[in-house]
Amino acid sequence: MEEKDGLKTVKCRAFDAIPWLRYGFSTRHGGVSLGECASLSFSYQKEAEELVDENFRRFCNANAMPFESLVLTHQTHTANVAIVNNSHRNRGRDRTLRETDGVVTAAEDLGLVCFTADCVPLLLVDPQAKVIAAVHAGWRGTVQSIAANAVKAMVQAGADPKNILAAIGPSIGPCHFEVGQEVAAEFAARFGEKLPLKEHRADHFMVDLWLANRLVLLEAGVPNDRIFTANICTYCNNFDFYSHRYTNGRRGSLIAAIAMEGDV
Ligand SMILES: [Zn+2]
């Protein structure tokens, strides 16, 4: 975790080694949001645009990202990934990208954003081809392999899976992601023995979304030693992160964001 101007961001050392890469996973600290959203929330649904804009500005300043270029999408737990370009620049609040849970670009100075609060945020970069992605992987997106769809879209944009670095950000951990039999059955059908499901109590199972997303990335050709997990459970660490389950939905939104700075 890194602190700048009172704003804390979760970083990934492997990403820090890339000089032109700008990115970060947000925490709750350093913003202007109030009440259950205090203080660094990015939910336009819950608060006035001015407050959320100010939080975006602060996050962008602390992480040297271009606020005016952000691409936000309307996430609906799909496995849909869109390739975006300069025509999407600063198409933020209007959320023209409907039913899109992942974004990919090869364009510089374009900030890709995904929103989470327990769901898994993934940031991907191919440092050779200069292609990046931001992905929201809830349990549905995970089972439907949205991480693999993002890798495919990155390949379309010029990336090579074996060069991709992936960061799995703060999200609900195997310690707290409990599901019922129906959801457990979907994970079992998708991942088989590679993803052990621990029966926690009668008909309730603990699922490791971090491992599940790693498995999807491995299948897509990303090398194991290029996949990094923050190992931060948002439920356990609800003081620092928004957790949907811990608060029964009374919470703000975190973001994961990534951009490539031009002319470096
Ligand atoms: Zn936990």
Give the type of residue at 244.
H
Q: How far is the CA of 244 from the centre of ligand 1 (A)?
A: 12
Q: Which residues contact 46 (CB under 8 A, 6 or more apart)?
A: 37, 252, 253
Give the structural domain span for 216.
2-260
Chain segment 108-121, per-residue pLDDT in tens:
999 999 999 999 99
| CATH assignment of the domain containing 213 | 3.60.140.10
**222 Cα to the center of ligand 1, angstroms:** 26
Ligand 1 centroid – CA 172 distance (Å): 6
- Tokens for 91, please give them: 């198409």
Structure confidence at residue 90 (pLDDT): 72
Cβ neighbours around 83 below 10 Å, total: 17
- The per-residue pLDDT for range 9-62, each reduced to its tens digit, is 999 999 999 999 999 999 999 999 999 999 999 999 999 999 999 999 999 999
Domain count, the chain: 1
User: Ligand 1 mean position to 232 CA, how many Å?
Assistant: 8
Quote the ligand 1 centre to 206 CA distance (angstroms): 11
Beta-bridged to residue 23, according to DSSP, are 258
Taking only the tens place, the pLDDT of each residue in 226-258 is 999 999 999 999 999 999 999 999 999 999 999
Distance of CA 241 to the CA centre of its chain: 13
- Check the CA dihedral 154-156-159-164 and report its sign: positive
Q: What residues form DSSP beta bridges with 115?
A: 255
Core vs surface per residue 46-70: b (16+ CB within 10 A) or e: bbeeebbbebbebbbebbebbeebb
**3-class DSSP state for residue 5?**
coil
**What is the edge-to-edge ordering of all strands in the sheet holding 254-260?**
2-4, 7-10, 21-26, 254-260, 111-116, 70-71
122-133: average pLDDT: 98
Q: Is the pTM of this model over 0.95?
A: yes
